[in-house]
Amino acid sequence: MAHDQISIPLLLFLICTLSAATVNHATLTGKFGENGAMKRKLLDNGLGQTPQMGWNSYNHFPCKLSEELIHQIADAMVSTGLSALGYEYINLDDCWAELNRDSKGNLVPKASIFPSGMKALANYVHSKGLKIGIYADAGTLTCSKTMPGSLNYEEQDANTFASWGIDYLKYDNCHNNGLSPQERYSNMSKALLNTGRPIFYSLCEWGQDNPATWASSIGNSWRTTGDIKDTWESMTSRADLNDVWASYAGPGGWNDPDMLEVGNGGMSTEEYRSHFSIWALAKAPLLLGCDIRSMDNETFELLSNKEVIEVNQDKLGAQGKKVKKTGDLEVWSGPLSDNRVAVVLWNRESSEATIIADWSDLGLNSSAVVDARDLWTHSTIYSIRDQLKATVEAHACKMYVLTPH
């Protein structure tokens, strides 16, 4: 009928208009890599819409797990108020299982350290309003060589994890027999999906085979680096290695430069502030690696900065990146929702220095007038024009959210 028909010229006009709108959006957002993220094929488990937040045992308690420890960490996550800020996963790392599977081929928790079993442990963590994560390996043994790997046991182990109530899997890469990581990690991804339980899937392939280029269809995060250590040199190098892959991150799947060392004692307060700021800006997972039961006030103030956490958890999900480098003076920046921009002025020199970010460095119009919110002093500088400028201590940073008028 006539009123159901559309003319060819009108149809062509609509197609061209829609195409132009799409190109314009890509042009506007491509500077910080969102366009790359839009093209990703994503794992369809509904998880990881923002980077994961929680705690992992390995940095502070390598192979020193116990039922009592996990209970106390879960209790502390709630009592300190960290859980209310978004830290929700309590993740066990390596060394939780017996070396041998049972007669049916199932993984067995170490009775000496988890006498109540994993299901009871998961129930305890869940009773606190938190989620529980576990560790496995895409090879024949885990990295500690004290546990069986999950290679060729993917379905069985995934079903075991689901039956226990596990919410998160960190999947390591040791003793892998030289087999393709894409195949090994994909097999576990399928097995987890087949359980019917939503389980966040964290690939720990150490960035060896450029997982940023293929892992978004398999997992919710992927390591882009080797293991972090509690040193300035290790932290800064992980930041740089991760930065290369900024355009591949986005809602549903995130680049992972490894867990946080904040509070473990190997760096200064300002170095830890830089660590936390860059991880937040880069949309890295915020997985605490210290003993939150006994952290000092400085550590708590760093990890509980709500304004910095909000940058990490921003709904736009665009990974901030290094946009200017003058020697060891750096500007890192990325877009946020509501046309705002996050900025970190990072002094990696050994003495105090002044760092300048021009509007052109930040993707802002040259005539823009902005208010700059300092996220660490919780103060606002109003009506700034042309550039953002600050004097920054050695190994320290300043972090801002800019809101154009």
172 in active site: yes
Pair of tokens at residue 291: 């003993």
Q: Which among 355, 288, 277 has a CA at the least distance from the CA of 310?
A: 277
Which single residue is written with the structure tokens 């999906």?
193
Dihedral sign from CA coordinates of 27, 29, 30, 36: negative
Q: Which among 74, 51, 182 is positioned nearest to 125, based on CA atoms? A: 74
Alpha-carbon distance of 112 to 117, in angstroms, equals 10
Q: 227, 240, 358, 371: which is the annotated catalytic residue?
A: 227
- The answer to whether residue 291 is catalytic is no
Owner of token pair 């450029």: 210
Catalytic residue among 157, 167, 172, 291: 172
- The span from the CA of 402 to the CA of 405, in Å, is 10
Look-up of token digits 């060589």: 145
Which residues in 166-295 belong to E strands, given as ranges? 168-172, 200-203, 221-223, 254-256, 286-288
CA gap 348, 327 in Å, rounded: 9
Gyration radius (Cα) of the chain, Å: 23
CB atoms within 10 A of CB 256: 34
**Amino acid at position 330, single letter:** E
Backbone angles phi, psi at 172, to 5 degrees: -85, -175
Asked if residue 307 lies in contact with residue 281, where contact means CB atoms within 8 angstroms, the answer is no
Please spell the DSSP secondary structure of 130-175, one letter per residue.
-EEEEEEESSSB-TTSSSB--TT-HHHHHHHHHHHT--EEEEE-SS
Q: Which two tokens stand for residue 254?
A: 């995130």
**Which position has the token pair 């299901």?**
119
Among left, alpha and beta (phi > 0; psi -120 to 50; other), residue 283 is left
Total residues belonging to the chain: 405
Alpha-carbon distances, residue 90 vs 75, 178, 358 (angstroms): 11, 31, 41
Q: Tokens representing 285?
A: 């997972």
The angle at the Cα of 254, spanning 250 to 255, to the nearest 5 degrees, equals 120
Active-site residue set: 172, 227
